[in-house]
Chain A
Amino acid sequence: MSDGGPTGPVEDAGSGPVAAGADVFFVDGEVGRDLAVVDWAATPLGPPEGWPQSLRTAVSILLSSRFSMWMAWGPELTFFCNAAYRRDTLGRKYPWALGRPAHEVWAEIWDDIGPRIGTVLTTGEATWDEALLLFLERSGYPEESYHTFSYSPLRDDAGAVVGMLCVVSEETERVIGERRMATLRDLGSDPSVVRTEQEMLAFAGRQLGGNLRDLPFTLVYLFGDEGSARLAAATGIGAGHPAAPATVPVDDAGGVWPAAALARGESALVALDGAPFTGLPAGGWPEPPAHALVVPLLQQGSAPYGFLVAALNRYRPLDEGYRGFIELAAGHVAAGIASARSYQAQQRRAEELAELDRAKTAFFSNISHEFRTPLTLIMGPVDELRGRLGAADPQVREELEVIRRNGLRLGKLVNTLLDFSRIEAGRMRARYEPVDLAAVTAELASVFRSAIEKAGLDFTVDCVPLPEPVYVDRSMWEKVVFNLLSNALKFTFDGSIRVRVGVEDDHAVVMVADTGIGVPAQEIPRLFERFHRIEKARSRSNEGSGIGLALVRELVGLHGGTIGAASAEGRGTTFTVRLPFGHAHLPSDALIAGDATATVPATADPFLHEALRWLPSDSRDDGAAPPASEEVGHGTGEETAGGLPGRGMPARVLVADDNADMREYLTRLLRGAGHEVTAVEDGQAALEAARADAPDLVVSDVMMPRLDGLQLVAALREDPRTASVPVLLLSARAGQEASIEGLEAGADDYLVKPFSAAELLARVRANVELARLRNHHARWRTALVESLQEAFFVCDEQGAVVEINAAFTEILGFDAEGLPYAPIHPWWPDAEDDPEAHRLVAEAFAGVVSEERGIYTVPVTHRDGHRMWISVAFNQVQDLDTGQRATVGTFRDVTAEHYAIQRETAVAALSLRLSQAASLDQALTGALEEVRALWRAGRALAVVFPGAGGAPVVTATGGDVAWEALTEQHRAALAGLREGPSLAPATNAAGTAAGVGLEHPHGPMVLWLDLDGHRPFTGQDQTLLSLLAGHLAQGLVRAHQIDQQRETAIALQRSILGPADLPEGFAVRYEPAARPLEVGGDWYDTVPLQDGRIGIVVGDCVGRGLQAATVMGQLRSACRALLLQDPQPDQVLTALDHFAAGVPGAMCTTVFCGILDPQTGHLAYSSAGHPPGIVVYPDGALHLLEGGRSAPLAVRPGSARPYAGHVLPARATLLLYTDGLVERRRRPLTEGIGMAGEAVQEGRDTGIDVLASQVMTRLAPAGGYDDDVALLLYRHPAPLEMTFPAEATQLAPVRRALRSWLTKCDLPPQMVQNVLVAAGEACANAIEHGHRDAPGDVVYMRAEALVDRMRLTITDSGRWKTPEPEANAHRGRGFALMRAMMQHVTVTPGPDGTTVDMQTRIA
């Protein structure tokens, strides 16, 4: 139809008389009929009776083929085609095209195919084209279509080429499917990198713009606040084009795009005609698009973000697939916007947190500055005083030392904080000089040697000289070394500390290793965090701000180095600093020349003083206080020199002596020295006087009536009021023993008569001073304890608290009046209300009583009932007076810290759970479990309220429950939370439940916890729940995106794989790898061959992703064509070798290619390096198809391939698969193959399709397949399916077919007969109904052989009546026969017909 032009033929080919010799066309009843009526005489070929045999043969091959083909013959290349070609390709050109010259039939693509046909005709060689784009006009418009085809020459009887045969398979769906998938995959190619909205749109634009065929141009509009949508991105079109205005008003109906409808979430198809649409760009096509689909960018639970204008490919219809593609693309853009906006929000939050951290440091360093001035004013005068009073009172010196030491410590802390703020502000003025790092480090380490050795630790310094100098700032490096050493000493109680300097990987390496308590693995990542301290760590001191290691890291970083820690709990910790050699990494203006004369710096002092103070006092040597007696002696000398007790305060002295002279002497003597004296005659009187008014000193004779001196001393000591009154005994008894006796009785001093006046006065004065000092000490201790910021307590041996300070009362609410507090202490959490907290305290208490020292963080209850957390540090001491063991401890309120840590831990755990989830459901169930465990809730529920009135979906820990199964009250409470603001937790009045609303991708969600009600759900808990809910909502959105991407990928891969209609008896599956989500190059295929046999292919291309999928598509098409051309498995694979050699990425593909005769079960096969197929016999035995094996594709092209044959016995099952099904790490392949065989064996009683799913599920690893899997199952023989008219004459042929099929099933003859009778009766019934109710209707019969069961189903369109033997005797008999012949007979009447299902067991 040359005059018809490309718009296509419409005229009918007419129905002329059938030409003579037209019998050649009768092979096919459809196209043959139309070919027969062609006016052949009008063509160059002439009437069919005159055609040469070669043409007749060619036509007959063409018509009998079920594969799509056309051919051209003769001088005008007259066109023929078969039914498959008519259906797949020719479209409306049929039957017009028959008998026409080929160049007329395919006028529109003649430029493409004409030259190819010419080549075939002139050279006689076949052509091969893979997925060639052709614009066919078969549907009334030029249509984009793709075809894989081969033109091969046709020869006449003389052997000359006179025509050509085209075998073609249309691949339009595959090519377009792959193209769209590529775009969608690119759009989602990097979901982990969240960008700003602008970057995200630019990225999406690049991907959308990469597919100008499906998307000639696109526009993204985003709704703003001002009632209009603004153009945010465009592809394929200039921004200035009238079709792409910068803004589109939402309310104005006259806008270029229907923004109002889109704002409501509706899509719109817009015809691109009229003014704004002239001169549109054409995208990847010759003509501009004619329509555009505008779809909303949907936002979960809210109005759309905006909309996407997608111009449509005018060469494809807007079918479901196309629409779906555009909606998925819009979905990606919307998800990207959502993600970018949420990222921005997170970013803002992170910045705020960082700002907070900076503010904290700034705050501390500001105060530190404020501290410096007073510190200077303290330290200066103290040093001055130390110099001036160096020779003076040791007591003063001692106290000055205390002031100085603590001043140094405070100064060190202040300096560290200032270092931090300098580093942070970039104001740290470093001076890097080249040093011998080994020598410098060894020197610094030596400063610590004495302290470490005093602590009883070994100290090894192993610093070999380095090959070249390292640039360090000396003062910074000192801080690094001192901090590391002081840290090591603090946490090491025995063993050693080692410092090593060496070279590793061109870096100087400094290691400080200890054998201390170590760091728990989970703490290591936070070790260098500022203000982070490890809870409960045993250390020499509870001092420390948690800032030293953070500073070390900053300082090492300034040197271009790194620091790491390795630790094993209980075994020690090793810090490793790595510094680069040279100075290329340092700013050149900060370099100075080396200074060889380094000295140990002043900064060592604070470190050393601090470290030394951690050590037990008996190993101290720095300014330890001299014994008090020396001081007294010293004072005596002074007094002797000065003659008067210059410093001595007058004392009240009680004198007891039965000798009146002595009494008077003593009185006179003491009064003369300024003391106030009371004199009594004996011990009893002295005791009474002392009890009435305790004196400063008792001077008593030993030998007295009534109560002697020793008894007096004992009595005084027994009475608390007088226990501390010093007693000076006077005795005439000389000798060591006497004095010891006195002192043992508790006397403070002993003077043997005779004594000089000076000696007595000196002793009196000394004892008075000493007592005063003792009182002073006691007062000082009280003041010190009271002034502590931390709570202080003393426990006796039984654990009763016997002393507390003001801070204790302030923190816990319990005051000193309640002392002693016996265990169980009133601040313990109640054992019934909160058994867990009670247990924690009980454990800690056991430690306090039994251990020497330790730190515990425990929950306690304040006197007013509120819960708090305290961190307790304690030490056991020996009470010198009583000899009893006591425990002294302090604690501080760490409630806020505890909850902060708890929150961070909970958020981290939840985030981990969410990040591990591979699907939305997993994310939700995992999160619920986490939340439930956190609160030890009885149960955690999540209820999602889907939109549009769907039933709420409940997910629960410990098994899901239905919404209806919840109590009405519960449902109302949940609904109430849903209505309320999201992320606002609420609890019920009884405190037995808490809930919070949040957004789930499927709709509003409520998270609900069933609490035990014992423990209050505090404000802290609410904050935490709200925080977790927020994280959960974000995690769910992420999981939802993963779900969507996965579904898209699988849908597209499956659409490429096909085939849509499998031959009977087969089942196939494809599953992409679970993580990372990727389709791959596995495929399966079944190819029905002309002779009724079936080609079976399972293959596996190397690699993953689009590349592998593309290679797979090509190999699959080629393999199909080769099977049709020459159905021999070895030949197919040999030919495929050649093909694969020319396709990049196809090498090493493994393929199993088989040809099955479904009649006999014979399978001829050849394997190109593919894992062996498995045949499972009815008795469960396995057979591996291990014959016919050779190398994978294209490894040895040209070499012949072997093949093998195997006969599948009746009811055997064949399993073919790719290695993803059976291959696992650290497991032999044979084991996986065995497991696959077992799975098939165990499913031998199930239908083939159910079995396929069972095998996939059973072999899947816990986390899903990590490689993609293709699987193909066939059970022999395939089920028999027949449909026949409800007529009695059909019974015999149906019976014959069934008998033949039953024979294939390998059943005993009597069973065949029984099944035939039962089927015959059921069919006869169906026919009778058909006649009665709907004459001419059809009956459907299906017979399926499972391994040990036979199943027959007969369905008709009538209704069965209950058998009525008297009305129709032989029908009733028929029913009885069916029941007798088969084991189960079920009759299911329905409105449209009756189904009889019969089963019998195969023995």
Chain B
Amino acid sequence: MTTPLTLTPARRADGTPVLNAAGEIDMSNSADLASAVTSALGDSGGPLIVDLTEVEYLDSAGLSILLSYADRIEVIATPLLGPVLTICGLTDLTTVRGLDPADPADPAS
């Protein structure tokens, strides 16, 4: 039984590419995330907005992917994922929004 994960590429009104992820990300499907980010980025240098608002679980395998693209992506997440994103250092490398419950994620998403 694989881990449920839906990855949907989209674009904002301003043309910024967005990758909407919903479900759980672990060792069994982190490769799917990698290929989805690669294809959403295409040839552009970014930034790609990776929206993790609907992600309920994210482990070190998923974090590794995000870290490897850190200079070309921005991340929107929820307070629930705050500790893992902070501990792995992603918040120091790129913009991560939505971690503070008082400051909701970018309404543009």
Contacts and interface: CB of A to CB of B under 8 A. Distances in A.
Interface of A: 1288-1293, 1295, 1309-1310, 1313-1314, 1316-1317, 1320-1321, 1324, 1327-1328, 1369-1371, 1373-1374, 1376-1377, 1380-1381
Interface string B1-19: 1111000000000000000
Nearest to A1310: B80
Tell me which of B27, B28, B57, B79 has the highest count of chain A C-beta atoms within 10 A of its own C-beta: B27
Given A1292-B3, A1324-B27, A1370-B64, A1376 B87 contact: yes
A1291 B83 contact: no
Given A1292-B3, A1293-B1, A1373-B64, A1317 B80 contact: no
Contact of A1377 (B1, B28, B60): B60
B22 interface: no
A264 to B, nearest CB: 64
Q: What DSSP secondary structure best describes chain B's contact surface?
A: mixed
Given A1291-B27, A1295-B24, A1324 B61 contact: yes
B60 A1292 contact: no
A1292 B4 contact: yes
Given A1377-B84, A1380-B87, A1324 B60 contact: yes
A1352 to B, nearest CB: 15
Contacts of B81: 1313
B91 to A, nearest CB: 14
A1309 B87 CA distance: 18
Contacts of B36: none
Contact of A1314 (B1, B79, B83): B83
6 contacts: A1291-B27, A1292-B4, A1295-B57, A1316-B57, A1321-B59, A1377-B59
A1369 B84 CA distance: 15
B29 to A, nearest CB: 9
Contacts of A1374: 59-61
A140 B80 CA distance: 63
Given A1291-B28, A1292-B4, A1380 B60 contact: no
Nearest to B68: A1369
B98 to A, nearest CB: 15
Nearest to B64: A1370
Interface of B: 1-4, 24, 26-28, 57-61, 63-64, 79-81, 83-84, 87-88
A1327 B3 contact: no
A1291 B3 contact: yes
A1317 B59 CA distance: 6
Nearest to B4: A1292
A1370 B61 CA distance: 6
A1320 B64 contact: no
A1085 to B, nearest CB: 38
A1377 B87 contact: yes
Nearest to B89: A1373
Tell me which of B58, B61, B81 has the highest count of chain A C-beta atoms within 10 A of its own C-beta: B61
Nearest to B26: A1291
B57 A1317 contact: yes
A946 B59 CA distance: 59
Nearest to A1291: B26
Contacts of B59: 1317, 1320-1321, 1324, 1374, 1377
B88 A1377 contact: yes
B2 A1292 contact: yes
Contacts of A1321: 59-60
Nearest to B61: A1370
B27 A1309 contact: no
A347 to B, nearest CB: 81
A741 to B, nearest CB: 125
Contacts of B58: 1317
Contact of A1309 (B24, B26, B60, B80): B80
Contacts of A1327: 27
Nearest to A1328: B27
Contacts of A1369: 64
Contacts of B24: 1292, 1295
B59 to A, nearest CB: 5
Contacts of A1313: 57, 80-81, 83
Contacts of A1376: 87-88
Contacts of B61: 1324, 1370, 1374
Nearest to A1375: B60
A1317 B84 contact: yes
A1292 B26 contact: yes
A1377 B88 CA distance: 8
Contacts of B84: 1317, 1377
Contacts of A1291: 3, 26-28
A1328 B28 CA distance: 11
B60 A1289 contact: no
A1308 to B, nearest CB: 11
A777 to B, nearest CB: 116
Given A1292-B1, A1292-B4, A1317-B84, A1373 B63 contact: yes
Given A1320-B57, A1324-B59, A1373-B60, A1292 B83 contact: no
Contacts of A1290: 1
A1295 B61 CA distance: 15
Contacts of B57: 1295, 1313, 1316-1317, 1320
A1294 B81 CA distance: 20
Contact of B60 (A1293, A1295, A1310, A1370): A1370
Nearest to B62: A1370
A1309 B57 CA distance: 12
A1310 B78 CA distance: 11
A1212 to B, nearest CB: 27
Contacts of B4: 1292
Contact of A1371 (B3, B26, B60, B88): B60
